[in-house]
Amino acid sequence: MGTELQKMGLSENEPPEIWNINKPDYVVKIHRAYFESGAKAVTTNTFGANRIKLAEYGLVNRLEDINAAGVRLAREAVGEKGFVVGSIGPLGVFIEPLGDLSFDEAYDIFYEQARALIRAGADAIILETMSDLGEIRAALLAAKDAGDISVIASMTYAERERTLTGTDPETAAVVLESLGAHAVGVNCSGGPKELEKVVEILCRATNLPVLVEPNAGMPELINGRTMFKETPQSMANYSKKFVSLGAVMVGSCCGSTPEHTAAIAGELQGLKPNHRSRLFPLRAAGRSRTEKIGHNCFPVIIGERINPTGKKYLADEIREGKTKVIKADAISKEKAGAHLLDVNVGVPGVDEPALMKAAVQAVQSTVNAPLVLDSSNPCTLEAGLKAYHGKAVVNSVTAETESLKKILPLVKRYGAAVIGLCLDERGIPESAEERLKAAARILEYAQDLGIPSKDLIIDCLTLAVSAEPRSALVTLESIELVRKILGLPTVLGVSNISFGLPMRSVLNRAFLTAALERGLDAAIINPLDTDMLDAFYAGAMIAGRDKNAEHYVARFSQTVNEKKGESQVKDKELPSDKEPKMHPLMEAVIRGDRENITSLVEKSLDEKINPMDILDKYLIPALEEVGRKYEKGEYFLPQLMLSADAMQEAFKRLKPELERVEKRYRGTVVLATVKGDIHDIGKNIVAIMLKNHGFNVVDLGKNIPNETIIEAAQREKAEVIGLSALMTTTMPRMGEIIDIIKKNNLPFKVIVGGAAVTERYAREIGADGYGKDAVAAVNIVSKLMEGKI
């Protein structure tokens, strides 16, 4: 739609959506052209018709009218023979913890637009070109709440089949399916070749209908015109491949024309999609990782002890609203081998829901492991479920009627999995058969609410054998019954077995291996206990749960190598540490520990470390390491931004000290999004990264005229100008600015970037550098300042 509107004269100073009001005939004409070319459905011209985007043009008061007109015009074009799909795009800002927008605020904005589209008669809603899993979760819930309508949830992927914020296609499918999407998909993201792997993964990860809408290649500006290189026939050839992979809805996105649609429709004529009917285990997901539990999968470890019970230091920190220890615990347990992490903030006399939200945001920003939210308080659970950007496991629900009524509706609404405890109003059943009945009751209630059995895992309960000598046998029998009769996976908190006895760890290990042999799928244990971990991997192999001893060999090959390394170190009489301990300041930047980095700077200053050394030896190298991790795909945008935030806090404290010690000038960079373009997320990230590397940054904002940018660079005596443009229609402004600089022999170097900008285009317009992303931009600016380019 956007490309076709541009051909008809859409100005860079107006949003496409306003043509629903001002030039409706053109919109109808475009819809009709695609429909008559073979499209079965058209998406409304409402992609950016949300409150935040419309505010940029002073059009918030027209929101209802613009969305309603979008539906009406599409219906006029296709009549009753075609489907009208209401288009909802991203908000253009990040939600917490990456940005300032709360989950509830994002939900309200999406709800407002979805309701307008549904009231106007849309047949379905598509959430498209989403890059943040947290944002699309809010959008999906809002769209479903706005009316009884099918919702397609589509994300856009970049390099390594990851979204901008690091989500892989499997994780997206798991989270969106659990939240109730009627179909999932991928759109935009480059040409059809770039989407082939994404479609393949999506189709393996879900039985839901899968949609694919590639661009007609990446846009290029040739002789002042936006060109897309994919021909109608090449797009049609790929569409057949998509169907063979399992896609059931095939279309096209940016740069495609009615001719592309006609070719695709012709190629798909008479084809039937492949039937997909896979059985999936329970799946829990973080933002960028999915873990599978049960259904013949290798057992998993749920890391315990992020729990204030019996830990005064953690309880005190939680009361103070801090998360330093929680984050450190999460990092250490994931590194030690936990597949999931249990999070509990239950401390008397605190605002537990607020603390659960803070803890979830802190932990999910620090580790990739999926989270188990541990509370019996519905308000606390809901706060955590809203804050979480993945598919959590709720710990827990019982077979008591009150618990079932309070907990399971939250599980259903937020697409979580849940641990069911085998206890009811009478307490903990004494026999395995009675525990089975409690589990069956939970299953029945869950299924009545529409929660699939694959999202339920049963805790058969571990009691202290010191008090109940037969309790271990009852628990083991219960595991077998639940698995065989109900077909559900099981979980245990293992260490309860040894309460009140000496040498607890010995008994814990023995019970764990016995439980694994009976079919235990998830063990809640302390992953920092290496003997317990050894027992876990050995027990899983002996129980026949480790195909080809793959996990056992990986575990103990690593251990043997480490021990060899230790012995070699001892022989040479060197320190036993395998690598030098990282300075706490570096660690804080790399982990994004904004909360504690100021105190670490204070400590370093108290130790008489030169402020310049703090910056040059610790902070800058740490940020460079974050950049390297980002480039290698180990870190994604969330980690990059958190590290940048931590660096900003450190620099804020260090700045007055640096000014007293030495006036050091790394150079001034003027940044701007060019005239006619209101997109600035990428430019804002570049600004943060440049500031953290010690550059003086003058950020002019977005939609900035050429003359204003040049004048600012002259006024600020800048060495470098950084220009951003998202749309091909605004990219020419970059070339115009460079021409002005060269014509007037001005001393500025220019670096360019943006979604549609390529290295080739940067060379063609005479730019001095191309910033593919924020990390690349910093590297290029550094080289420009040093005269290396």
Q: What is the pLDDT of residue 715?
A: 95
Cβ(423)–Cβ(459) under 8 Å? no
Sign of CA dihedral 380, 385, 387, 391: positive
Same domain, residue pair 516 and 386: yes
Distance (Å, whole) CA 388 – CA 369: 12
**Tens-digit pLDDT profile for residues 335-354:** 999 999 999 988 888 889 99
Q: Over the stretch 157-213, which tens digit does the pLDDT of each residue have?
A: 988 899 989 999 999 999 999 999 999 999 998 889 999 999 999 999 999 999 999
Same domain, 485 and 358: yes
Give the contacts of 131 (CB within 8 A, at least 6 positions apart).
90, 155, 156, 163, 164, 165
109 and 189 part of one domain: no
- Look up residue 588 and give its two tokens: 């804080």
Evaluate whether residue 11 is within a structural domain: yes
Quickly count: other Cβ atoms within 10 Å of residue 407's Cβ. Answer: 26
| DSSP for residue 674 | B
Beta strands in 317-381 (DSSP E): 340-343, 371-374
Domain that holds residue 105: 1-155
Within-domain flag for 625: no
pLDDT at 309 over 80: no
Q: Is residue 620 part of a domain?
A: no
How many whole angstroms from its chain centre is CA 371? 14
Q: Is residue 623 part of a domain?
A: no
Is there a contact between 300 and 521 (Cβ–Cβ < 8 Å)? Answer: yes
Same domain, 225 and 345: no
- My answer on whether 151 and 214 are in the same domain is no
pLDDT at 559 over 70: no
697 shares a domain with 773: yes
Is residue 656 situated within a structural domain? Answer: no
Pair 13, 111 in one domain: yes
Tell me: pLDDT of 579 over 60. no
Residues 228 and 328 in one domain: no
SS3 call for 567: helix
Last-in-domain residue among 517, 545, 573? 545
Helix (H, G, I), strand (E, B) or coil at 253: coil
Q: Name the token pair of 37.
A: 């070319």
Amino acid identity, position 686: V
CATH of the domain at 35: 3.20.20.330
CA distances from 772 to 254, 732, 758 (A): 20, 18, 8
Q: Is residue 621 part of a domain?
A: no
Q: Which of 436, 487, 443 is nearest to 294 (CA)?
A: 487
Of 526 and 97, the structure prediction assigns the larger pLDDT to 526
Residue 593 within a domain: no
Q: Do 408 and 540 have their domain in common? A: yes
Statement: residue 33 has pLDDT above 80: yes
Based on the fold, state whether residues 518 and 464 are members of the same structural domain.
Answer: yes
Average pLDDT over residues 416-438: 97
Are residue 408 and residue 505 in the same domain, yes or no? yes
What is the mean pLDDT of the segment spanning 761-772? Answer: 91
Contact at 8 Å (CB) between 536 and 299?
Answer: yes
41 vs 18: CA distance, rounded Å = 22
Domain-located, residue 566 = no
Shared domain for 115 and 199, answered yes or no, is: no
Q: What is the pTM of this model?
A: 0.87
Q: Based on the structure, what is the number of domains in the chain?
A: 4
Collapsed DSSP state (helix, strand, coil) of residue 183: strand
Give the model confidence (pLDDT) of 110-166 as tens digits: 999 999 999 999 999 999 999 999 999 999 999 999 999 999 999 999 888 999 899
